């Protein structure tokens, strides 16, 4: 091979070279799009975490087959627990005992009869023992065999403060 003559990477076939260059260019474009999408997703997640904190809301998903819960940062803050994944049994211990039968029935009714889940109850935060008022709404996703729950830390009304 002559060192002054450039080597053909594509094996000397122009059509093949053009096709490879086109594929490489397309992959570079897709890579840039993925990088931008990843950054937009990260920014969206940051805003969601901030919104949960400011609004005192959170969410969790209960996988019915494993009875495990994956919770958002907001839910963990409201419960005063440092977990990402927890068993349903462990999370149920946070609610005050007076509310446990109502909560159990509501979850059972949601799963077995599709009866709407919309409850107000009190929990004892694990981090500081403070009793907190909660409003939660849940929906059953039959396709994924999961329950999705949104919870709100409620504030005492102006009426009850006076």
- The percentage of the chain sitting over the pLDDT mark of 70, rounded to a whole number, equals 84
User: Which of 1-5, 20-24, 35-39, 126-130 is predicted least confidently?
Assistant: 1-5
* pLDDT value at residue 54: 84
Burial class (CB in 10 A: 0-12, 13-18, 19+), 48: middle
Between residues 144 and 45, which one has the greater pLDDT?
144
pTM of the model: 0.72
Region of poorest pLDDT, from 7-16, 30-39, 95-104? 7-16
Q: Inform me whether the pLDDT recorded for 157 exceeds 80.
A: no
Question: Where does the pLDDT of residue 47 fall: very low under 50, low under 70, confident under 90, or very high at 90 and above?
Answer: confident
Show the tokens assigned to 122.
Answer: 């009190």
Q: For 65-99, how does the pLDDT look when each residue is reduced to its tens digit (9 = 90+)?
A: 999 999 999 999 999 988 878 999 999 999 999 99
Q: Where are the alpha helices (DSSP H) in 3-130?
A: 14-55, 73-79, 88-92, 100-113
Tens digit of each residue's pLDDT (9 = 90 or more) over 100-133: 999 999 999 999 999 999 999 999 998 999 999 9
How far is Cα 85 from Cα 61, in angstroms, rounded to an integer?
10
């Amino acid at each position: 091979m002559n060192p002054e003559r450039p080597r053909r990477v594509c094996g000397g076939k122009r059509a093949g070279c053009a096709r490879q260059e086109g594929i490489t260019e397309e992959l570079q474009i897709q890579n840039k799009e993925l990088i931008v999408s990843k950054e937009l997703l990260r920014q969206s997640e940051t805003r969601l975490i901030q919104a949960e904190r400011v609004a005192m809301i959170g969410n969790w998903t209960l996988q019915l087959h494993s009875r495990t819960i994956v919770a958002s940062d907001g839910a963990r803050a409201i419960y005063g627990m440092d977990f990402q994944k927890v068993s349903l049994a462990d999370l149920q211990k946070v609610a005050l005992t007076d509310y446990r039968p109502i909560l159990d029935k509501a979850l059972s009714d949601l799963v077995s009869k599709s009866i709407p889940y919309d409850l107000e109850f009190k929990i004892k935060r694990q981090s500081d023992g403070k009793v907190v008022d909660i409003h939660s709404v849940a929906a059953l996703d039959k396709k994924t065999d999961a329950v999705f729950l949104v919870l709100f830390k409620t504030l005492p009304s102006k009426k009850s403060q006076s």
